Chains A and B, each alone.
Chain A
Amino acid sequence: MIREIRKAFEANDDTFLRNLATETARRAAVEQDRRLAQMSVIAYSLSKLLTKPHFLRSPNWPRYRNAILSALRDAEQGREKNVLERVERTIRRIDAEDGHFVKSIVDKARSKMAAIAYSVGISTHVAAHLFDADIHDLLDYVGKMKVHDEHIPKIGIKERIEALRRLIHANNS
């Protein structure tokens, strides 16, 4: 997986990285694997970096690009245990120096990947925990997705309110 990420990043293939991130987030949800979750966050963050011209045009870019590639190579060769954290730190540094947004690319990626994991069918709490995402942020992303339009519950608003009234009535009598 790390090799795939590294090769795609080297080839500036943001589409591949984004697809890999999504697929890996789903796998992380199913397998409850925090390392997979972290890899999906990194793949997604790298894909975002590649789509932002202001990062690519920055004089800092070659230095950071090399630092990311070097960390990924070390990870491929099993040289460093915390290599994913190293990649993450580098992305955060690029973002802090050259990013346009207050919210970091990595934090956004955590929430987006957690939202994808939630769409698989795990709860928001499990998804937030797995991806170290903030639950406020996660809900914000979930609200922007179509996931809740794909499934129409058998019990609608009207029926739930009627059931609530029945309970109130029973409680009062």
Chain B
Amino acid sequence: MRIIADAGPLISLSNTCLLWVLEKLPFDFILPPWVVNEVSLFPRQTKHYKLSALRISDYIGAGVLKEGDLGQRGEEIARRVQQIANNVYFIKHRPLKIIQRGEAEAVALATLTDHIMLVDERTIRLLLEDPLELRNVLQIRTGARVSMDHERAEELQDIVGDVLMLRSADIVAYAYEEGLLSKNKDYLEAALYALKFAGCAISEQEIRDYLYG
């Protein structure tokens, strides 16, 4: 099965030395072209993140992470997804640009494969899973009234369909359940918190609920 990976989870997994988990799982992890550039090529120019980029490059070289080909159809879907997503929410009649090309490419590839995405950030996940909740978040955080174009949100749903959104924390928890991680629950807890602090959009409450709920 193919899982389309965004940049965030690869960075979180690399920075927490957990990239190896992907190698153990029976999935093909596919990276959109834009993401390959973002996680493995561009950061090599900075000393701080070069090691992280090289680690990810090693996994690309070894075929654990594969670069996906959007093709003409994928390009068209990515363009549509980006265009629609950035015209769903409005503040004072101005559309709110919430996603970029890389995320749109990931969504497009997911729709053309097995409908699974590995994405750590909150925005794209809420947009596809719960667009009304994203409006609430936007409204609370901006302090402004945010209007939503429901037709466009539905159009996006029609194009994308049901996509399972997994975070790096979910994939590590899955690996634990499959016996691929240490059997020690403390290790899992530490790994989940490390991923949270590395930027994965998971709350402390969720981690507690999963481990002790």
Contacts and interface: CB of A to CB of B under 8 A. Distances in A.
Given A32-B97, A125-B99, A134-B46, A164 B164 contact: yes
A143 B41 CA distance: 23
B125 interface: yes
Contacts of B210: 156-158
Contact of A167 (B1, B123, B213): B1
Contact of A135 (B7, B96, B130, B138): B7
B43 A122 contact: no
* Size class of the B contact interface (CB-based, 8 Å): 35 or more
A63 interface: no
Nearest to A156: B206
Contacts of B69: none
Contacts of A126: 97-100
A123 B99 contact: yes
Given A121-B142, A123-B99, A151-B137, A160 B91 contact: no
- Which range contains the number of A residues in contact with the other chain? 35 or more
Contact of B198 (A29, A140, A149, A167): A140
B141 A120 contact: yes
Interface in B9-33: 11-12, 15
A30 B144 contact: yes
Nearest to A151: B137
B197 A152 contact: no
B187 interface: no
A119 B123 CA distance: 9
B121 interface: yes
Nearest to A122: B98
B198 A143 contact: yes
Contact of B100 (A123, A140, A142, A148): A123
A144 interface: yes
B153 interface: no
A57 interface: no
A151 B46 contact: no
A167 B3 CA distance: 11
12 contacts: A30-B96, A120-B138, A121-B134, A121-B137, A122-B96, A135-B7, A139-B199, A156-B210, A157-B206, A161-B177, A163-B164, A164-B116
Given A122-B97, A151-B122, 18 more contacts: A26-B141, A121-B142, A122-B96, A123-B99, A123-B103, A125-B99, A126-B100, A134-B48, A140-B198, A143-B198, A144-B197, A149-B204, A153-B125, A157-B207, A158-B210, A158-B213, A161-B170, A164-B166
In order of increasing CB-CB distance, the 3 nearest A-B pairs are: A139-B199, A125-B100, A121-B138
Interface of A: 26, 29-32, 103, 118-126, 129, 134-140, 142-144, 147-158, 160-161, 163-164, 167-168, 171
